[in-house]
Chain A
Amino acid sequence: MLRYLIGRLLTTIPTLLLVSLSVFVLIRLVPGDPIALMLGDAADEATVRDIREAYGLEEPIYIQFGLWLLKAVSGDLGQSISNNAAVMPLILDRFQVSAAIVLIAVVVAAAISVPLGMVAAWRQNRLTDVLIIAGATLLLSLPSFWLGLLLLLLFGLKLGWVPVIGYVSFAEDWAAALAYIALPTLTLILIEIGVLTRMARASTVEVLRLEYITHARAKGVSEGAVLLRHALPNAFAPTWTLIGLVLGNLLGGIAVVETVFTLPGLGRLLVDAIFARDYPVIQGCMLFTAVIYVVVNLIVDLCYPLFDPRVMSE
């Protein structure tokens, strides 16, 4: 197990290096300049050049990358061009916001989706199945910004149950924090229920066709026991993989939801940085996202033997 873990961690190093290099080069290939954006249309060529020089942007790209990488290894991701803040603390600060919402949303969505998907599979091609799948497909089809705005208009504006904009951290006031993250979390839950329910149903349908399930039923095992004791562990494994992917994906940024609900999260930080061509923040966010993705999927892989012991023996 330890060898496996070390091996997996070592393989992430070239991945992260490649991500860093690609992001560093690609963002500079995209037209647009952070200093020109800062100065606007009134900027003259000489001023843009002078300020670019002051930010080290006139150096050859390989020198810029080398300097950035040297610092990044020691955990210093540089300073934001947009607001001069240190990138690493900025990312960690914003990640807390995204992580709180994403973790709650994914746990709740999984807790709802897995039983729903199993019930749908159990009642395959009957009214219950059709209703569940229709609902899941509908939720899956809704754009998150549209759903978010609808929820905001209904619960925030019409009913006035929750605040429309803003954010309070759990450390400041946990009750207020819950009120502020309620709608974005609900938006994510609804969207992810669509994805996870379909996966849970598909994998349960597969498992319910297997001979050992027929055998269990032939032995007279109750349907509840068949589903929970025999079908669930095997059916949950693919869903668990998907949960890992969803979690990694969402932790990397829920920019649209964060924008609609004015949450200062990681996704919005990245999107704002891209629009402002804030190179250090873009590079930092992308590297951080890659690390999160790798770590989450590593944890998912390490948990896999709990559901499917064959993985361990392999």
Chain B
Amino acid sequence: MTYAKGLTGFALALAVAGVAGAAQAETSVKVALNADIRSTYPGVNRDANTDGVVHHIVEGLVAFRENSEVAPLLAEKVDLSADGLTYSFTLRKGVKFHNGAPLTADDVLFTWSKYMDKDTKWRCFSDFSKGISKVANVAKKDDMTVTFTLEQPSALFLGQMARIDCGGTGILHKDSFAADGSFDKPVGTGPYKLAEWKKGEYVELEKFAGYSPRTEKRDGYAGERVAHIDKVRFVVIPDGSAAKAALLSGSVEVLPDLDVSHLKEMKAAKGVVVDTATTMGLSAFLLQTKDPVFADVRMRKALAHAIDMAAIVDAVTLGTAKPNHSPVPVVSAYYGKPQGEPVKYDPALAKKLAAEAGYKGEPIKMVTNKRYAASFDSAVFAQAMAKDAGINIELEVIEWATQLDMYLKGNYQMMSFLYSARLDPSLSFDMFSGPKETQPRKVWDNPEAQKLIEKSMAISDKAERQKLFDTLEGMFRADLPMLVLYNGSDIAAYSDKLEGYKSWMAGQPRLWGVKVKG
């Protein structure tokens, strides 16, 4: 009897220990977001925060690596036909949606039909319905193979498919939509599934137990994406100081976009790890070439020599970014010697060029905003430096939405501006090149350059593309429609209780491959 009681007691103790162990094993991490997400529909009604969260839930056929190359994600492999027009995506076997359904070619076709419905308002609708990556036909070859046929060869097609703001063209199950066809919630294949979105407060994700990872190691949005944390909660904390206090008090574990002004303090803080990575975003001073002052290229060059851009970059980024005066990002595989050429700080030359251009000290209005502190600080430094060279810059500090409106209308003389990341040099040049008549937001109106950019979009050969980008670099520097300062930094601060968290060039948080210690 005593023996039996002892056994029962032991079994009970084991059960209790098991339950306690299971309870202990559940891990959760809170990540700060500076604003609420806009939707959970990939690439539809989105912003950077939305993209960051949604990419944990859905996956596309391809994704970006850390070096901005495109790699297969839901696709096992991608084959291109000899004529460069047809891409065959062979799907990975064993991939399941969050509802347990297996991924098939039908799901890809279904999702594509949703994205290419104009009423969906997909961010990238126009990229695939016209232009270089226009898709002529999508077909199911077999249950696990889908073909996309383009109207013309495009070096950008896979990159467009992987684009972060397109939601990575994330594949959704039919259950993501209500009976009337409207979007309900994302049922994807990602390492996390949506648990709850409490608008204005938080978005909670749960680990997807049925996730089927790739075998390659984590690489950007590609490779192995295994969730080790049971619950991830993205908490909306609009105020930077409050977010910092939340990290220090342990109320959140990750601050994915730390403001550079808090960097020193965070580096010194106990229990906090800081990690930085160079992004593909670009900080620049845009010069309106239609403006009488900047119509003369000598005046644009005068300004370039009047500003010690390296000193500005060092001051505003506290050494987290390197100067870059090329539209091609530093981390791009196409960043070579012509792109790395510095711009000489020479106030005497600046004065000479300005005098030759007929500049007589008339005020130049530079538009900036305080939403992006580094952009504002750059403008203040540039104003002071230009003054020493006799160039009279006046700052006009406005709110971001107003500045964006002025940018889109080309309604400015000079502007301190941040371009979001473009993950291919063709797109980097294209973001600011084009006819001002029809696209007033473009700063570089050079038809010859535009032809070369379009050519670079159609060629896949890397060496040939490099030549084109080098030629474009020379033309850009000769025309100098904007002064490029640097590519931004993704600065993350996180609790030392986590391991595996890394910043990367896309500047988005990644909670897969991250573990809670102990």
Contacts and interface: CB of A to CB of B under 8 A. Distances in A.
Interface string A259-300: 111101000110010011100000000000000000000000
B419 interface: yes
Contacts of A17: none
A45 B437 CA distance: 12
A38 B408 CA distance: 13
A36 B420 contact: no
Given A84-B45, A261-B242, A37 B404 contact: yes
B36 A164 contact: no
A85 to B, nearest CB: 6
A42 B165 contact: yes
Nearest to A97: B200
B405 interface: yes
A262 B242 contact: yes
Contact of A32 (B200, B236, B249, B404): B404
Contact of B439 (A36, A45, A82, A167): A45
B365 interface: no
A272 B35 CA distance: 8
Interface stretch (B105-113, B395-403, B504-512): B395-403
B408 to A, nearest CB: 6
A40 B237 contact: no
A163 interface: yes
B404 A260 contact: no
Interface string A33-46: 10011111111111
Interface stretch (A64-72, A125-133, A150-158): A150-158
A202 interface: no
Given A272-B36, A277-B401, A157 B121 contact: no
Given A85-B199, A90-B199, A264-B200, A41 B39 contact: no
A32 B245 contact: no
7 residue pairs, one from A and one from B, having the closest CB atoms: A32-B401, A264-B200, A31-B405, A31-B402, A165-B246, A164-B249, A164-B251
B241 A149 contact: yes
B123 A37 contact: no
Contact of B248 (A36, A157, A269): A157
A94 interface: yes
Nearest to A55: B121
- Looking at B236, B238, B241, the one whose CB has the most chain A CB atoms below 10 A away is B238
Nearest to B421: A42
Contacts of B200: 94, 264, 268-269
Nearest to B427: A42
Interface string A146-177: 00010011001100100111110000000000
B199 A83 contact: yes
B38 A40 contact: no
Contacts of A37: 47, 401, 404
A259 B238 contact: yes
A269 B200 CA distance: 8
A30 interface: yes
Interface string B491-504: 00000000000000
Nearest to B438: A45
17 contacts: A32-B401, A33-B404, A41-B407, A47-B125, A54-B118, A82-B36, A83-B37, A156-B249, A164-B242, A165-B242, A165-B245, A165-B252, A166-B235, A260-B239, A260-B242, A262-B242, A268-B200
Interface of B: 35-39, 45-47, 118-119, 121, 123, 125-126, 165, 198-201, 235-239, 241-243, 245-246, 248-249, 251-252, 399-402, 404-408, 417-420, 422, 431, 438-439, 441
A103 interface: no
A38 B251 contact: no
A262 B419 contact: no
A50 interface: yes
Nearest to B404: A36
B235 A44 contact: no
Contact of B126 (A46, A160, A163): A46
B242 A44 contact: no
Contacts of A269: 200
Nearest to A152: B245
A36 B198 CA distance: 25
Contacts of A90: 199
Nearest to B131: A44
Contacts of A54: 118-119, 121
Nearest to A272: B35
B38 A44 contact: no
B420 A83 contact: no
A134 interface: no
Nearest to A160: B249
Contact of B408 (A36, A85, A165): A36
A83 B126 contact: no
